[in-house]
Amino acid sequence: MRRLSRKKALSLVKELDAFPKVSESYMETSASGGTVSLLAFSAMALLAVLEFFVYRETWMKYEYSVDKDFSSKLRINIDITVAMKCQHVGADILDLAETMITSNGLQYEPVIFELTPQQRLWQRTLLLIQSRLREEHALQEVLYKTLLKGAPTALPPRSDASTEPLSACRIHGHVYVNKVAGNLHITVGKPIHHPQGHAHIAAFVSHETYNFSHRIDHLSFGEEIPGIINPLDGTEKITYNNNQMFQYFITVVPTRLNTHKISADTHQFSVTERERVINHAAGSHGVSGIFVKYDTSSLMVTVSEQHMPLWQFLVRLCGIIGGIFSTTGMLHGLVGFCFDIICCRFKLGVYRPREVLN
């Protein structure tokens, strides 16, 4: 009884077979079929390899949301060299609430303003990358994914021991400010704190020594990430006027970066530059110096590195193999059918050679 039930079950399963097998005695191979099979297998292998490279690639996904974090502090990273002596210039920050942020985190270092050939080459390379980023915005995704392979983006130190006088001042460091609009300014004189306002002591600085030619080696907001290039990195402004004002208007966008290499909270920003000569007689009022006016955006951008899941790769791979196999089989059958029709017509005398007709 058990054997009979097993036989019935096997026969039932055989009847449900959707892939019936053809006996080898009824199968006939041909040169055309082998050629088509070889081409089909080559196409399958090529497309499978290309699909594997697509599977290895990643892409950046951008999501936008409202920034609800208003209580935390915003970090500003500064590295600016001014063509004036350190005792003649001062830097501080004044936010929208008229709160003067102390600049204790900034250091004043006497340096030489002119760059060495190695440093100048670094600056030219950085400016070339900046120009490419403005033309090809997709390159920013490459920077996010590779982070320049961890390459340092800071100005390389001076290797030679120069005897030139230290007539410039490098202002570098970081400060924490409130997440409101503010103004980072570098002008003549050291800043003083008093409850009635904000001032710089510039009475003892000669007007002929004013020179706000400057170079921004680095300016960023938020956590400092090696390999990220910011819009103002490498910017250099040269002036021959003592009453020159440089203004940078910056919009800061909070950015959360999640890649396979790093996960950090940083900030992107866009900038608009303006410069003019202070001439009170001509109606151009103001104070000589460098002014960086920033404002924070209410939107947050989340940049995530996405990867194709394994199941999707397998489905696409099966689609490639099955599609090529079915298509080549149909084409081979169609070509064989047409060839058989032509041969039959030749045999029936429908088509005759031209020599016979003549």
Segment 266-273 shows an average pLDDT of 88
| Same domain (yes/no): 219, 318 | no
Indicate the pLDDT class of residue 357, thresholds 50, 70 and 90: very low
| Same domain (yes/no): 194, 329 | no
Inside any domain, residue 245: yes
Q: Whose structure tokens read 């030139």?
A: 164
In single-letter form, the type of residue at position 325 comes to F
Output the CA angle 183-184-188, nearest 5 degrees: 115
Segment 63-70 shows an average pLDDT of 84
| Same domain (yes/no): 188, 239 | yes
Inside any domain, residue 174: yes
Inside any domain, residue 126: yes
| Same domain (yes/no): 45, 104 | no
pLDDT of residue 80: 93
Last residue of a domain, one of 244, 266, 297: 297
The count of domains in the chain is 2
Kindly report, residue by residue over 288-343, the tens digit of the pLDDT. 889 999 998 888 888 888 888 889 989 998 988 888 888 887 777 777 667 667 77
Q: How far apart are CA 272 and CA 207, in angstroms?
A: 28
pLDDT of residue 29: 63
pLDDT of residue 92: 85
Q: How far apart are CA 19 and CA 315, in angstroms?
A: 21
User: Using CB atoms within 10 A of its CB, is residue 90 exposed (0-12), middle (13-18) or buried (19+)?
Assistant: buried
| Same domain (yes/no): 314, 289 | no
Which segment of 138-152, 166-180, 203-217, 293-307 scores lowest on mean pLDDT?
138-152
| Same domain (yes/no): 313, 235 | no
Indicate the pLDDT class of residue 137, thresholds 50, 70 and 90: low
Output the CA angle 39-45-51, nearest 5 degrees: 130
Q: How far apart are CA 219 and CA 234, in angstroms?
A: 9
| Same domain (yes/no): 273, 317 | no
pLDDT of residue 54: 87
CA 26 and chain centroid, separation: 61
Question: Contact, 301 vs 62, CB < 8 A?
Answer: yes
Inside any domain, residue 21: no
As given in the structure block, the two tokens for residue 329 are: 């089989």
Inside any domain, residue 63: no
- For residue 175, list its beta bridge partners: 76
Segment 154-167 shows an average pLDDT of 75
| Same domain (yes/no): 162, 209 | yes
As given in the structure block, the two tokens for residue 23 are: 């006996």
| Same domain (yes/no): 256, 328 | no
Helix, strand or coil, per DSSP, at residue 97: coil
| Same domain (yes/no): 48, 186 | no
Does position 27 have pLDDT exceeding 70, yes or no?
no
| Same domain (yes/no): 91, 129 | yes
In single-letter form, the type of residue at position 178 comes to N
Which residues constitute the domain of residue 108?
68-297
Inside any domain, residue 18: no
Inside any domain, residue 17: no
Does position 82 have pLDDT exceeding 90, yes or no?
yes
Q: How far apart are CA 59 and CA 307, in angstroms?
A: 7
